[in-house]
Structure formats: structure tokens, C-alpha cells
Amino acid sequence: MEQLARLTGVELSCLEGVFALLKAPDDLTHLLLVLENVNRALQTVQGTQKIREDLDDATEKKEEKGLFHYLPVITQIIAVLKGCDRESCPETWLDQSGKQRGIINDHPEWAMLILTPDAECYGNDAYWQHTGVVIACSAVQRKRHQAHIGSEITAACRDIRTIGNGKKSLGLLVEIEMDATLKSYRQQYLLKSDEILEPLSGIELLVRKVLDHKGKTRDGGGGGGHPARTIERRVDVSDSDDEENEGPEKSMQLLESAGDEQAQGRQRAAGLHPKESQTLRAVSFTESKASPTLGFDLRDLIRRQSSRIQHISQSNQRLPFRYASLSRVELSLAAKAAFELFTGRGRFEKRDDEDVYAGLLLLLMIWLGRPVEQILGMRVYNHRHELPKHRKDVLAFLIEEHAFVLPIPSPEWRNSLQDDAKKLLFTAGGSTPALVDEVVVVASPVRMGKFISRLSLVRKSRTKYRELFPEWRHGGIEEAMRAAVSKINRAHRMRLTPRRISQALFDEIVCHSSDWVDAYLLTGHRFTVADVAAHYYSVPAGYLETLYHAAAVSLRNSIYQYLSVEEKHHYAFKQVVQNRGDHGSKLNLKPILLTRLVKHLKGELRAARRLQPEDESWRQTHNHYVAYIAFWLLFATGYRAVNDLIFRWREIDFASGFLAISDKDDEAMSQARVAWLLPELRDQLRQYASHLEVLQARLYQRASLYEHLEAVLSEPQPDVPLMFFISDSWQMVQLSPENLRRHVPLFTLPVNASRHYLRSALRAEGVRGELVNAFMGHAQQGQEPFGAFSTLTPVKMFRELAPVLSKMRREAGWTVQQGLADE
């Protein structure tokens, strides 16, 4: 900021005022591009005089300066930057790449304004009008409420940003009339028949809060004044725009509340069964960050989200991944019936062509464990060299290799790595690019080729494959399969269902690996926890191949035992294809990269300590010391990098080593988790406290910094951040992912790469999937660690994890370092 003040001749206080209203990041990335877009957006709002007047009147104190007051300053900065020498200012200021990496959550207005001229909406006047209103309203909210702002700014900026990048239709934004007021703008352009336009709900929420003089309103509970108990909370959709974002855009909640007669009447009006509404007070609904119904009475919730209200009996069904597992007797009957249906024996002597395919479908459901719709699209190739180059969702059988081709899904929110990150990961880190939507070829554990060879398969024109199940017969084949399952159930009084049959292999894989993610990758049965955890998981293709064979052979042998098939008749399959590479996370960190990072951080700290003892050397020593400890904490606890690293002394129990982490949570800390610090890391934090005492004594003349250090070191439990950087101007700087990356420019990967490393490394060390999920903070209803349905305790969990974490610490080279305390 000081450098910009010297370059432009604008007073520092003036610059701080305008950039505070724009919530600018510290490095002012894309500065010229953003200011040009701000100027254009605000100029369009100037043309709607009444909206401009409403926004001016919205400023609480007339002596305070609004964003429109700074237009001449913005114009001056743009002119200076356009005419200045590129060497006289940081490259980030003149960046025109349009990358919003790492700032979407913390700086939504700035990220929204990073829009390049090649965007479709760039020449659209309506887009800039609405963008100007959002920018001006956001500035009003920040001036009025400062830290007490809800999600309205983030949600409104997301609406504009998604329209700008083409994910929403540009036609949603209609040109604003010249005589529109802020109130009529909301009524005419953000509502339709008094109902909120869903794609613009974030903008509507922001404008409504400006009109109603409201800040944060997320303290409300259920309707009717009765307490509501949350019995489930689950992430459904994440914002995929930001590489480092992990927060939910939407979540599912089930609320249980007693309710009075009036509330029960409203529930009946919403479609709840009258008798059930007397005894069961539960409603499920979808809540978004921009939800206009947060804190409203239940009648408003029903009116606003009537299309999303669901009866509790619909919402509270077993989740897709929890079901009654089949016994070996039931599975053996299903396998026997599938064979008889295919060959026309036993109960299925009378059958047609679709029954033959239905028998094969049942067999594949057992041995592949895939959903029915995936198996129906299965292909047949002569050999692996006929496989297409792009193999996403390709499920196939290879005749010559007598093997299945299993598609391995990749995380949907995978984003491309920056060039500098690739160079670090693949050159210095010894990693290989992760396989994206690739396949694993596994030998069939049963003589599946014998069944397929009996079918008359026709090659599709201009392709190298044949459809195993003709597309035009899919409906009839599935119907015949379901009819056969029903026939088996009636004859044997069983409880077979297609889902239970197809998920038998999933259960068997979990028995062998203890990890739902492995089973999800191999079978394609997808649900939230496994999908989220897979985002952080790098797994060798060879491991998946071995795991499939171990589970399939175990399942086969137990089924054959009930069918009295002797071991000498078991199929001796041979794996002829060697699977190479790693599937999963794009941040496939190898131990060598972490070792080199630790050496670099230690080297920087030693270099700073060797400088002449003066204020500047103490500042540099402190910053390098904090960076070292911060990275150690990230790689030791799996702390999410979406928020600031705001550990406080009161959150650590130094006697037991337990640490309370609330890194992706609500205000009630209902999703907080317990982590554990190694004894060496606890010693490092004690050394850090001694370092702060020495630093305070040496910098007594820096009043504001001295007071902050006094607050950190106060007794008994200070409520201020434990770690912080010191800027060039001797101000305390929050330890955010953005600042951490700037202080360690060598580490060009996203800061949350530590979570990708930890999950993969812990699983590679053989740690059970349940413990890894609890450690990473991944849980879903019924699987919450330390909860009512869990037998896992923190002591038991970390007693099992401690030897592994200690081994990983030694291999990486983390050791207790001294700061200023020993000089």
C-alpha cells in the first residue's frame, strides 16, 4: 500500500479507505484490471441517479466517505498504472490472466471484479449495471456492520461471478431503467410474482439487507419460538470456482422440534400427514449461503421454499451407502439363480432372450459391484489396444486378456494446477501427474468370457467395441432382472434387492481395506463422505488392482462354499496387464517434497537469525519462525486452509496434547473436531511462547505490536490469534493462506496440499479408514467420531495414530527450532 501511495501520489489513508471498501487482498493482485472494472461498474450506476442517491443516503454518517466519493482517486490510480514502467511496480498489479486463485472466499468483491475483456458479458451494459449495484451495496454493508456481516456479500458476488464466467445465463440480468430506485430495483429485477428469483437470490439478499439495515442474521432457530435440535447436517454441493475452497454452497439439515398446535397446523398445510404431525415434529429443507429464510418463522420457510419441503419419511430413509447387507447364503442363492437364468435351468427353464441378458446382468452385479445403469452400458473389446484414448466412464470386458476395465472416478471439482505448482510438484517433488478419469484393468475372478462368448454381439458402426447389452433392450433387461429377483424372494423368503446385490462387493472391499473411498473408486457407488475424501486421496493403480482381486476372490470362495463348488474347480485367473500411475488427487505429494520443504524452511530461519541483531532481523526471524511452525501444524493436524490459522492458547491442552479445531464450522462449533499434537510439536509451541516474550521486550517502542504481544501472552487464556506475521510497516498481519504463501514463495502449491498429503500418507501406512476420516474431519450421519453412535474415543484414536504420526515427523525432518529466545 505504501509503495502504491508513493507511485500514485495519493495519500495512504485515502488508499486504505477505498481498498477497505473493496475488501482488497494484501498483494493487490490484478490491481489495474480490477480498478478499471470498478470504475466502469460505478459509472453505470451513476446513470441511475435515484439508485445512486439511495446508496449515498444509506451511509450512516454523512462525514463518512462512500465508494462513489473515491471515483476520482480510482481514475487517478488507473492513469498512473497505465503509464508507469512495469519494473516500478509488482507484476501482480498488472496481471491480466484472470485467475482468481485463493481469494474467492476471503475477498469476494475483488474476485468478482477479475474479469478479462474476452468474457462474453464484458460488453453487456446490463451486466455492469448489476455489478455496480452489488459493489456499491457491498461497500455500504462493510461500512455499516464491519465484521458483523453475514453471507450476503459472498452470495451476491458469487451470483455475478457465475454469470460472468458463463455458468449462469447472461439473460438473467435485465437492463435497469433510468428512474429506478433501490427498492424498485429489488422488486422489478430480483423478484418474480413476489418470489425470489433463485439464480439471483444472493443479490436479492444483499439488497434487502441494505434496505432493511440488517447485518448478520444467522442467530435464529426454528419457527414458532420452539427450540429445534439439528439431528443431521450434510454437505451436498461445494463451490468449485476456487481451487482451495472446501466450504459448502448448500447443506441438508434435519430439524426436530416439538411444535405447538399452530405449528402443527402449518405442517399440515405443507403436506405433512395429520396423524404423524401429532407425534413427529421434523422437517428437512435445503439451505444455501444466500438463503433468504434463515431465522424466519416456519410459515415463511414453507412459503419461500415450498418446492424443497420434503416429508420426513422421505428424507430420513437409509442413505444410499447404508443398507442391510446380504448374508453369504443369500448371495449364493443370487449367484445360483443368475447362472440358472442365463442357462435356462431350474426355475428358469422357460425364458426368453431378455432373461438371458438378465442372468448375465445379475452375475456382473455380483462380480463388478457396479450400479445397474453402469453395467447396462458395458462394452466388449477384443484386446486392450482397442480402448479409446479418453476412457472416462468406460466399463468394458477384454476378450483376449479375459479382464474387466474398471473406470476410476476423479474428483469433480479438480482444477488445473498453475505452471509453477506443476514444476514444484513434478520436478522437485518427484511426483507424476495424477491419472484423470482413467481405468484399472483387472483379470476376471470367474470365467466371465465363457458367458459372453455365447451371446451374438454386433459391433457398432465406426467403433471398435460391441455393446454387451443392446441399448434398445435396456428397459426390458432390467425389468426381467427385477422379476427374477422377486421370483427368488418368493421361493426362498429372501430379502434380495438389486441394490443389495450390487453393493455386496462394496462391503467386501471395505472389509479388506477399512476405507469406503477404496470401495467407491472400484465400484462407483458414490456418496458424500467418500466423494469428499477422494478429493484428498492419491492411490496407486496397482493397489486398487490387488484390492479388487483380494475382495473378489474372498467373495467368490465363500459363495462357492455354499454352492459346493470344490476348490479344484475355482478359476485360476492370471493378471496380464500391469497397471501403473496414481489415481485421485492432483496434489500427489511425495515424501521427498515435504522433506525438501522442511529443509528450506529451516534454512530460511537460520539465515534470518545470522543477520545483525536489529529490528529488521528480529522481524524477519519472527516471520520465518511463524512460517515454519505454521507448515508443521498444517502437515501434522490436517488443518483446513480455508480460514485463518487462528489457534489460540485456550484451544490447546498441553497436558494431553489435544487441540480443538473449528476450521469449517458454524457459529455454534457443532462441526468442531479434536486433533492431537505430538510432544515435539507441543515443545515447539512452548518455544514459540518464549520467543514472543523476547520479541516483546525488544520491540517495546512499537506500541500497537507491543500491545498485541501482551494480549497473546496474557494469562490465563488469551482470546487472540496465537500466530501472526509482522509487515514492513510493523503491523500485525493475520496468518491467512494468502499471507503464508506470500512469505514462502517457494511453496507454489495450494496451502491445503497438506490435507492431500496426510490422507494419502496415513492410508499408505495402513491406518484404518475410520480413523483417517475422523482425523481429517470427514463424517456423515452415524459416523461422527466420538458421537452417540460411535465407539471411537479421542484417546483410543490417537493412541493408534501416535506411532504413525511420529514416524512421519521423523522422516520429514520436523524438529524443535529456536527463535529469539536463545540468542
- What is the pTM for the complete model shown? 0.66
Q: How far apart are CA 524 and CA 406, in angstroms?
A: 9
Name which residue leads in pLDDT, 527 or 444: 444
Q: Which residues pair with 191 in a beta bridge?
A: 196
In 3D space, the residue among 94, 241, 102 whose CA is nearest the CA of residue 160 turns out to be: 241
Residue that has been written with the C-alpha cell 459416523 in this structure: 783
In-domain check, residue 348: yes
Residue 73 in any domain: the answer is: yes
Final residue of a structural domain among 584, 618, 646 = 584
- Are both 672 and 687 inside the same structural domain? yes
Establish if 218 belongs to a structural domain. no
pLDDT tens, 105-134?
788 899 999 988 888 899 899 999 999 999
The confidence score (pLDDT) of residue 788 equals: 56
What pLDDT does residue 791 have?
66
With CA atoms as reference, report the closest residue to 44 among 187, 206, 173. 173
Q: Are 214 and 236 in contact (CB under 8 A)?
A: no
Q: Are strands 379-381 and 396-398 parallel, antiparallel or unpaired?
A: parallel
Q: Is 518:537 a contact under the CB 8 Å cutoff?
A: no
Percent of the chain with pLDDT over 90: 33
Q: Are 439 and 392 in contact (CB under 8 A)?
A: no
Backbone angles phi, psi at 705, to 5 degrees: -70, -40
pLDDT category of residue 605 using cuts at 50, 70 and 90: very high
Task: Return d(Cα 491, Cα 512) in angstroms, integer.
Answer: 33
Predicted confidence (pLDDT) per residue in 243-271, tens digit: 444 433 444 444 444 455 555 555 555 44
pLDDT band, very low/low/confident/very high, at 90 (cuts 50, 70, 90): confident
**Residue 107 sits in which domain range?**
2-212
Residue located via cell numbers 439439528: 230
**Helix, strand or coil, per DSSP, at residue 484:** helix
Flag the least confident range among 185-194, 306-315, 341-350, 544-553: 306-315
Contact 292, 201 (CB under 8 A): yes
Per-residue three-class SS string for 647-686: CCHHHECCCCCEEEECCCCCCCCCCCEEEECCHHHHHHHH
pLDDT of residue 314: 32
Question: Do both 570 and 611 map to the same domain?
Answer: no
Pair 507, 570 in one domain: yes
- Domain end (from 261, 282, 315): 315
Distance CA 216, CA 629 (A): 34
Instruction: Let me know the angle formed at the C-alpha of 386 by 381 and 391, rounded to the nearest 5 degrees.
Output: 90
Q: Are residues 237 and 339 in the same domain?
A: no
Residue with the three cell numbers 420434503: 310
**Beta carbons within 8 Å of 806's beta carbon, 6+ residues apart:** 678
For 251-298, the DSSP string reads EEEEEE----HHHHHHHHHTT--HHHHHH--EEEEEEETT-TTTT--H
Q: Do 268 and 409 fall into the same domain?
A: no
pLDDT in tens, 127-173: 999 999 999 999 988 888 776 777 788 889 999 999 998 888 888 99
Question: Residue 566 falls within a domain, yes or no?
Answer: yes
Residue 352: name the closest of 460, 459, 490, 483 by CA: 483
Residues 731 and 626 in one domain: yes
Give the up-direction half-sphere exposure of residue 674: CA atoms within 13 A in the CB hemisphere.
16
CB 97 within 8 A of CB 416: no
When mean pLDDT is compared across 395-409, 450-464, 554-568, 607-621, the lowest value belongs to 450-464
Neighbours of 352 (CB within 10 A): 11
Whether 34 maps to a domain, the answer reads: yes
- Is the distance from CB of 765 to CB of 807 less than 8 angstroms? yes
Task: Fill in the amino acid letter for 399.
Answer: I
Together in a domain, 427 and 542 = yes
- Give φ, ψ of 439 to 5 degrees: -130, 160
Residue 439 in 3-state DSSP? strand
Residue 822 covered by a domain: no
pLDDT of residue 415: 58
The count of domains in the chain is 4
CB 196 within 8 A of CB 190: yes
Number of neighbours of residue 804 by Cβ within 10 angstroms: 16
Same domain, 529 and 638: no
Contacts of 751 (CB under 8 A, 6+ apart): 244, 634, 641, 737, 740, 741
584 alpha-carbon distance from chain centroid: 14
> Confidence class of residue 288 from pLDDT cuts 50, 70 and 90?
very low
Burial 163-201 (b: 16+ CB within 10 A, else e): bbeeebeeebbeebeeebbbeebbeebbeeeeebeeebb
Q: Which of 212, 237, 256 delimits the end of a domain?
A: 212
pLDDT at res. 227: 40
| The pLDDT value given to residue 67 | 83
Amino acid at 795: V
pLDDT score for 258? 42
Q: Using alpha carbons, select from 359, 355, 356 the residue that is nearest to residue 337.
A: 359
Residue 430 has pLDDT above 50, yes or no: yes
pLDDT in tens, 720-763: 778 889 988 888 888 888 888 888 888 888 888 899 999 999 99
275-289, 690-704, 733-747: least confidently modelled range: 275-289
DSSP state of 323: -
Which residue in this structure is represented by grid cell 447485518?
A: 215
Tallying the residues shown for the chain, one arrives at: 823
Q: Tell me, yes or no, whether 785 lies in a domain.
A: yes
Mean pLDDT, residues 392-416 taken together:
86
Name the more confident of 465 and 231: 465
Residue 407, beta-bridge partner list: 439
Q: Which of 485, 480, 515 is nearest to 500 (CA)?
A: 485
Contact 525, 374 (CB under 8 A): no
Shared domain for 437 and 533, answered yes or no, is yes
- Which has more confidence, 51 or 150? 51
Report whether the peptide linkage leading into residue 745 is cis, meaning its omega lies within 30 degrees of zero. Answer: no
Asked if residue 525 and residue 402 are part of one domain, the reply reads yes
* Residue owning grid cell 442357462: 343
Between 363 and 105, the higher pLDDT residue: 363
Q: Which residue has the cell 492419491?
A: 538
Long-range pairs for 335-339 at CB < 8 Å and ≥24 separation? 335/363, 335/366, 335/559, 335/563, 336/563, 337/362, 337/484, 337/487, 337/488, 338/362, 338/363, 338/366, 338/484, 339/363
b (16+ CB within 10 A) / e for 684-713? bbebbeebbebbbeebeebeebeebbeebe
Lowest mean pLDDT among 169-173, 374-378, 393-397: 169-173
Bridge pairing between strands 732-734 and 282-288 = unpaired
Beta bridge partners of 733: 725
Which residue's entry shows cell 520479541?
695
CATH number of 802's domain: 1.10.443.10
First to last CA, the chain: 33
| Whether residues 535 and 646 fall in one domain | no
Residues paired with residue 597 on neighbouring β-strands, in sequence order: none
pLDDT at 36 over 80: yes
Integer angstrom CA distances of residue 279 from 29, 253, 260, 267, 653: 57, 20, 11, 12, 44
Average pLDDT, the chain: 81
Q: Are 671 and 662 a contacting pair, CB within 8 Å?
A: yes
Does residue 817 belong to any structural domain of this protein?
no
> Do 182 and 207 contact (CB within 8 A), yes or no?
yes
DSSP E strands: which ranges in 294-402? 379-381, 396-398
- pLDDT score of 324 more than 50: yes
Alpha-helix residue ranges (DSSP H) falling in 669-793: 679-698, 703-713, 737-743, 753-764, 769-776
- The tens digit of pLDDT for each residue in 790-819 reads 667 788 888 889 999 999 999 999 999 998
Q: Measured between alpha carbons, how far is 695 from 819 in angstroms, rounded to an integer?
A: 9
pLDDT: is 553 or 723 the higher one? 553
By CB atoms closer than 10 A (0-12, 13-18, 19+), residue 82 is exposed
Would you tell me the crossing angle of helices 31-46 and 49-57 to the nearest 10 degrees? 110
Do residues 604 and 680 both lie within one domain?
Answer: yes
Q: 145-149, 356-360, 386-390: lowest mean pLDDT where?
A: 145-149
Q: Is the pLDDT of residue 378 over 90?
A: yes
Q: What is the per-residue pLDDT across 471-494, written as a single tens digit (0 to 9) for each?
A: 999 999 999 999 999 998 988 888
Radius of gyration for the alpha carbons in the chain, expressed in angstroms and rounded? 30
